[in-house]
Amino acid sequence: MKLKKSDNLIIFTVIFSVFFLQSEVIFSQQKTVINNASKISHKVDSVLSLMNLKEKVGQLVLFNGSWDVTGPPSDVGSTEKLNKIKNGEVGAMLNVTSVAGAKELQKAVMENSRLKIPLLFGYDVIHGFKTLFPIPLGESASWDMEIIKKSAAIAAKEATASGINWAFGPMVDISRDARWGRIMEGAGEDPLLGAKVAVARIEGFQGDDLTKSSTLAACAKHFAAYGLAEGGRDYNTVHIDEYELYNTVLPPFKAAADAGVATMMSAFNEVNGIPATGHKELQRDILKNTWNWDGFIVSDWASIAEMMYHGYAKDRKHAAELAIIAGNDMDMEGRAYEIGLEVLVKEEKIDVKLIDDAVKRILGVKFKLGLFDDPYRYCDEAREKKDVYTKEHLEVSRDVARKSIVLLKNENDLLPLSKNTKNIAIIGSLADDKDTPLGSWRGMVTPGSAISLLEGIKAAVDTANVKITYAKGVSVGIGERNFVRELKINRDDLTGIPEAVEVAKNAEVVVLAVGEEAFQSGEARSQVDIELSKPQQALFDAIYKVNKNIVVVLMNGRPLAITDLAENAPAILETWHLGSASGYAIADILFGDYNPSGKLPVSFPRHVGQVPIYYNAKNTGRPSNAEGMVFWSHYTDEKNTALYPFGHGLSYTTFEYSDIKMNTFSFSTGKHINVSVKIKNTGKKQGKEVVQLYIQDLIGSLTRPVKELKDFKIVSLEAGESKEVTFSIDEKTIQFYTANKEWEAESGDFKVYIGGSSKASLTGDFSFKK
């Protein structure tokens, strides 16, 4: 049909009108954000102008409420704390975990202090509050940002219903060392995946409006390099060069800052000789000035005072001086700021403007949370009764948990199990454990409230027709589990093995639960031995002699060196510590009600001697033994490669990658290229695959990794279905912190890899020119 000129005019007018309206909406939104920021800044300045020095310092003080202990005991008595709160000399409290407690303390401020500046209430909301989700490392194995965001939003809903408005999470430290107990709290070894997970969690916590009573202020931690502690030992020294800092450690923090994270937490460790809490280059220069971030930095527990033990500060007053100059705004349980800052100002050793800047940042967060409009907005008893540990939350926990499980091995398609299997042996103390699945950093969960593996399996099958037999085998831990005490591990008790062997003899299949107890990983739980305990390995060996149909269910908070298991066990599921609905989620996978889709966010070593191990390593000058000689970068007693590499994860179906294509083989500034791949489900079941894009920068001003994750997409395919997956590569994709000391893309040649893990072998080549 041929259009008339008048028709064309009408169409143009409509299109222009729509574009104009969209532009007006976008401009209006931007203007609203700017106006809101301006209003908050004006309000902050108004409050600051009314404050005396003691009140200003008070806003920089964070006390423990003694409802829970997450660090060394405080030397401040409860009466003294309460008096300081009433005098307006405290800015925030942590570990106050109920509406009654929060209301009581907020009331003390609002009815007694001169300026009535409301308190912040912080808590370690790490992988849930009362309803627990998988530990963060496990949840990151889903590679699914929407469910990570959803679980964080539920955690925020429950925490805020209990009086909390500030979460000490997410932890965004990159770690490559399985010995470090706190690896369970992050997203693994890769900066890109870590950055995406950080943003998802922040968006889940903070939502799109911090004034909503169901959202809370997030805190990205620990700034910086905490995950690279020497020897994998918590709180230990970090040696890192500038380029590694920018290219590996800082990207998740930069993503968090760009996402508008309300607060950040400094780290316990020193970085190249300077404790992170007193590190001006990190805190004031990079985070606040270069990145122009407007939130506030809180120290970790007593880390300002701990600069004395580092040998960097001579006393608390000196520590306060170093920390405030460096840019640390709030002192958590260190007593350095309350003791030292007033004196330092009066002695003219620090400028009061440093304190004013810190106070402004803290007040800004309080205004963003709406606390000045309603100090009791998080003190709703009705919400506390109806929004915590709900059926809906538990259902989401189950869904997140099963999406976090990684199928490491499935020889001869032993999995999924048939629900008509006549005799199933469930073996291992962890299988009947209702507490270990809750993991470390467990919020306010009721101990022993998880669904155990044994319960999950019994619920999944008709027990009238399927015989389920359980044997404990060997214990993992000995004695009481305690957050603040060392967990004793069973090193030599094998007494339960004969009974387990008898049970295994008569079973069609054995489901063997092994791994770590809840508090074997987490803060201060570093280990030199990351293999299975000797009794657990002996249990597997004994069962394997009488029944080789073994499905190993790993429960752990860190990568384990399980080379012996990997060689012999026909099927291995990595289930981490999955949270409240653990047993149900594992059973969903075992019996095929859900097809596993998880991928490892961290490499599993063959031996602890390989640690730290990570996929995006450098090539070295002698990467191979092409000449058949000994003189190359290797171990003489073990392979260089990971047992299970970053990105690895199997499915109950199979995927075939083919036909990598590029729309062009070179691009320049302002342009981009598209690279596509065909992926086909070649199995008999519907499944999801995480399609991963890696790039190698062949020649750089600095040596570059053998490959780096640059993008990924989750694709769902029916049996026999094919899809083309396309990625876009532009100048930003290939940027890094170069020898010029800036983020930029360098001209040169590149190789692209696409596949289902970091061992992706489907390749293409392209070049970039500025």
CA atoms of 106 and 112, how far apart (whole Å): 10
Give, rounded to a whole angstrom, the gap between the first and last alpha carbons of the chain: 46
CA atoms of 223 and 300, how far apart (whole Å): 10
> What residue ranges in 272-327 does DSSP mark as E strands?
274-275, 296-298
User: In Å, how far from its chain's centre is CA 720?
Assistant: 35
CA atoms of 18 and 20, how far apart (whole Å): 5
For residue 67, the number of C-alpha atoms closer than 13 Å in the C-beta half-sphere is 21
Query: Could you give the 3-state DSSP secondary structure of residue 267?
Result: coil
Per-residue 3-state assignment (H helix, E strand, C coil) for 392-452 = HHHHHHHHHHHHHCEEEEEHHHCCCCCCCCCEEEEECHHHHCCCHHHCCCCCCCCCCCCCC
CA atoms of 150 and 131, how far apart (whole Å): 13
User: In Å, how far from its chain's centre is CA 73?
Assistant: 27
- Show Cβ contacts of residue 303 under 8 Å, excluding neighbours closer than 6 positions: 266, 267, 268, 275, 276, 277, 332, 334
- 194, 330, 178: which is closest to 250 by C-alpha? 194
CA atoms of 318 and 307, how far apart (whole Å): 9
CB 316 within 8 A of CB 269: no
CA atoms of 474 and 542, how far apart (whole Å): 12
- 265, 280, 227: which is closest to 249 by C-alpha? 227
Per-residue 3-state assignment (H helix, E strand, C coil) for 129-164 = CCCECCCHHHHHCCCCHHHHHHHHHHHHHHHHHCCC
Query: Could you give the 3-state DSSP secondary structure of residue 325?
Result: helix
CA atoms of 280 and 291, how far apart (whole Å): 14
CA atoms of 230 and 220, how far apart (whole Å): 22
- Residue 143: CB atoms within 10 A of its CB come to 27
Taking only Cα atoms into account, the Rg of the chain, rounded to an integer number of angstroms, comes to 27
CA atoms of 343 and 316, how far apart (whole Å): 12
CA atoms of 319 and 299, how far apart (whole Å): 12
- Residues serving a catalytic function are 300
- Residue 48: CB atoms within 10 A of its CB come to 17
- Which sign does the torsion angle of CA 115, 116, 120, 121 carry? positive
| The pairing of beta strand 708-717 with beta strand 687-697 | antiparallel
CA atoms of 150 and 200, how far apart (whole Å): 9
